[in-house]
A = this chain, B = another copy of it.
Amino acid sequence: MPMASRSVAIFGLGAMGSGMAGALLKAGLKTHGFDINQAAVEAFQAKGGASGDIADVADTLDAVVIVVVNAAQTEAVLFGEDGIADKLIKGTVIVACATMAPESARDLAQRCNAMGLLYLDAPVSGGTLRAGDGTLSILASGSAAAFERAGPALEAMSSNVFALGDAVGAGSSMKAINQMLVGVHIAAMGEAISFGVSQGVAPKQFLDVIQQCAGTSWALESRAPHVVSGDYTPLSAVDIWLKDLGIVQDIAKSAQFDAPLTEAALKQFTEASAVGLGREDDAAIAKHYARRAGLTLPGDG
């Protein structure tokens, strides 16, 4: 394999994927981008990305990064109609970034390994802004060979790779744990900031004081400013939490683990989506709380 021609492919050029693709390009890696949305592909090409038929470049690829919504879409990219797995050459590493159950990750890894492909269980954390900056955290597990082969791509996309061992599934487990906490904390921010309004505490005063007190969280410091400014342009949408907390709940149920706070948070996001807030920034969970109590937040009535 002539090293000079090595390159990377990325499947999924959505909010996260387009940022990560940009980070791969910025790092100087030859990058091929794929998406069913032609506009996303054209935007990627405008940034200097390559596209075309995966079969034509398969023998030049070190890594295939898959940034889709869930396990089912990851499976479709690999093994569906027009799936790519049988077009890749042995030793290529699949870098699977979607949030999924650890069991799904193990299943996909086995099927890839059976075809001679390496597999890195590599969900990401950090949001769209950090995706574009190449400063994501990656919660990764897999063989030493998979880590090594994926190295240049990981380095381009992230500022922090947590190497969680050689067992595929460990990365997905840690991602699920993290999402459980972030989802509950965002809902708790919405509950508390709206409760504050019911007590005469304006969102700005809430943020100024609480971020210096024991009640603070990363999620609160990230999302409460959106409530203060009344700007719900989606950096991460309410509907993401229906998906991610749903996955967490499924994993918990499989383990017969009772997760009542996760359940309560998921219920709030589900209700918020049902009243039309699904595509707004997830901080809009605060609007759902406030409206239900007949309260008004900045920029909402």
Q: Which A residues are within 8 Å of any B CB, using their own CB?
A: 102, 125-127, 137, 139, 160, 162, 164, 169-170, 173-174, 176-182, 184-185, 187-189, 191-192, 194-196, 198-201, 205-206, 209-210, 212-220, 222, 248, 251-252, 255-265, 267-268, 289, 292-294
In the bound complex, do residue B256 and residue A260 qualify as a contact, i.e. CB atoms below 8 Å apart? no
Distance (Å) between the CB of A172 and the closest chain B CB?
Answer: 9
Question: Which residues of chain B are within 8 angstroms of A209 by Cβ–Cβ distance?
Answer: 139, 162, 164, 174, 178
In the bound complex, do residue B196 and residue A177 qualify as a contact, i.e. CB atoms below 8 Å apart? yes
In the bound complex, do residue A215 and residue B173 qualify as a contact, i.e. CB atoms below 8 Å apart? no
- A212–B180 Cα distance when bound, in Å, is 15
How would you classify the secondary structure of chain A's contact residues: helix, strand, loop or mixed?
Answer: helix
In the bound complex, do residue A218 and residue B214 qualify as a contact, i.e. CB atoms below 8 Å apart? yes
In the bound complex, do residue B126 and residue A201 qualify as a contact, i.e. CB atoms below 8 Å apart? no
Q: A180-B215, A209-B139, A257-B198 are in contact. Are A188 and B185 (CB under 8 A)?
A: yes
From the candidates B125, B162, B188, name the one contacting A188 in the complex (CB within 8 A). Answer: B188
- A217–B174 Cα distance when bound, in Å, is 16
In the bound complex, do residue B199 and residue A177 qualify as a contact, i.e. CB atoms below 8 Å apart? yes
In the bound complex, do residue B265 and residue A261 qualify as a contact, i.e. CB atoms below 8 Å apart? yes
In the bound complex, do residue A257 and residue B195 qualify as a contact, i.e. CB atoms below 8 Å apart? yes
Question: Which residues of chain B are within 8 angstroms of A181 by Cβ–Cβ distance?
Answer: 188-189, 192, 210, 214-217, 220
Question: Which residues of chain B are within 8 angstroms of A220 by Cβ–Cβ distance?
Answer: 181, 217
Question: Which residues of chain B are within 8 angstroms of A180 by Cβ–Cβ distance?
Answer: 188, 191-192, 195, 215
